[in-house]
Amino acid sequence: MSIFSRHKTTLPTAEEALPGRAGSDFVIAAKHRVLDAPVVTPTAPEGYEVAIFGLGCFWGAEEIYWQKPGVWSTSVGYAGGTTENPTYDEVCSGRTGHTEAVRIVFDPAVISYADLVKTFFEVHDPTQGMRQGNDVGTQYRSAIYYTTPEQEQTARELTRVYADELTRRRYGDITTEIRPAAETPYYYAEDHHQQYLDKHPSGYRCHANTGVPFPPV
C-alpha cells in the first residue's frame, strides 16, 4: 500500500515515515508568555522533572497544565514518531508517527507526577484510539512518555486504576501508549503554537473526556 493512500489512523512504519530534516527551520520565543520561565528548556532547575503527555490537540493540553501550581514551564511539540524535526503540516499528514504532545517541567515538591497523570486521564478520553472527539488521526492519540523509572511505575499503576474505574462504568479499554521518552526525541512545535490559547483566548479547545473523575488511591 502506498503511503499516499494510507489511512490517517494507521501509524506509518519507519520506512514509510517522512525523513524530516537535521535541524529545526523555525525560531521559538525565549520567554514563556504565561510562566516566568523559558519555553525551550534543555536544562531545568535542580530537582525538577520533565513529563511528556499526548492528549489530543496540544493547545488545550498546554493551557490546562500551565495553570497547575508547581509547573515551571510548558511547551507543545511532537513525540512518539520517527520523522526528525517535523513540521505541523507533516505531523497532520499522518506520515511522521508523532502525536501532538505537551512537555511539562515541574517541581515534584509542589506537584507530584501522580497528580499530573491523574489530570491527564481526567481531561481527555483515553479510550478513543487514534482520535479525540472530532479530531481524527494518529497525531491525536493518547500517550505517556515517561522520563524516569519511577514515572513509568506511577504511569502504569495509575493507568490500571483508571482502567478499572472506566470498566466499572462500562467504558472501553484504555488505548494510551506508554513508552520511555528516550525512545523518541521530543521536537518543539512552531512558535505560533506555543501558548496558543494565551495569544488567542477564544481559540479552539478539544477536551473530549469521559467525565469520570480519578478514583481515590
Q: Can you read off the three cell numbers belonging to residue 103? A: 512537555
> Is residue 209 a contact partner of residue 166, using CB atoms and an 8 Å limit?
no
> Residues near 117 by Cβ (< 8 Å), separated by ≥ 6?
144, 154, 155, 158
To the query of whether residue 57 is one of the catalytic residues in this protein, the response is yes
Q: Pick from 176, 169, 39, 71: which is nearest to 120 by CA?
A: 176
Residue 216 DSSP label: P
> Is residue 19 a contact partner of residue 97, using CB atoms and an 8 Å limit?
no
Q: Can you read off the three cell numbers belonging to residue 53? A: 503527555
Q: Pick from 62, 55, 57: which is nearest to 32 by CA?
A: 62
Catalytic residue among 57, 71, 104, 143: 57
CA distances for 44 relative to 73, 107, 109, 183, angstroms: 9, 10, 14, 21
> Is residue 217 a contact partner of residue 161, using CB atoms and an 8 Å limit?
yes
Q: Distance between CA atoms of 50 and 48, rounded to whole angstroms?
A: 7
Supply the Cα-derived Rg of the chain in whole angstroms: 17
Active site residues: 57
